[in-house]
Amino acid sequence: MKTGTTTVAMVCKDGVVLAADQKATMGHLVASKKAKKVHEITDKMAMTIAGSVGDAQALIRILRAEMQLYELQEKNGSVKAAATLLANILRGAYKSYTPEMVQLVLGGFDKTGGHLYSLDAAGGLSEEEDYAFSGSGSVIAVGVLEDGYKKDMTTKEGVNLLLRSIKAARERDVFSGGLLMNVVVITEKGLTWIEEDEIKKLIA
């Protein structure tokens, strides 16, 4: 499975941060320089995507709808519940011999704090205590993450480190790039997108 992209995410002491590059490719053709690879699921949950865009978008629609129903019943949707549901959907597709060709990172904040989960196309699910990554550029990005990560970083520090890691990947991975990056911060107060002007200042 080719996952030409770079997505990274981190658990911080006051929330979680998710980020991705904006380059979408079709083989060796750049299909888009401003592709959105971080998507809101609920007002306190988001997901990064790598792999087949069509498969990922279908999963986003399903998960959004299911979490809306879940929150109507339970009043407070947990990140673990969303990740488990998504893993079950992926596993069902995999066993039907029509797998969803994706690599996903789901992050959010609930009553137990900030959480981060990595999911593969076969339905494999792993909770990450520090950071997660996906895509072709992640081999480069993870080196920056491992060098700069410290326990109990703030979301502000997390944003800076994730941007540094994607910047490194964009410079060395031919399938990562685009005009800028998508970055979202999720805390107890909700979900906040980092504005483009702010991202430009931070990566300058």
Give catalytic residues, as residue numbers. 5
At residue 23, the 3 state secondary structure works out as coil
Residue 6, amino acid: T
Burial 131-165 (b: 16+ CB within 10 A, else e): bbbbbbbbebbbebbeebbeeebebebbbbbbbbb
Q: Measured between alpha carbons, how far apart are the two ends of the chain, in Å?
A: 33
Element (H, E) at 102: strand 102-110
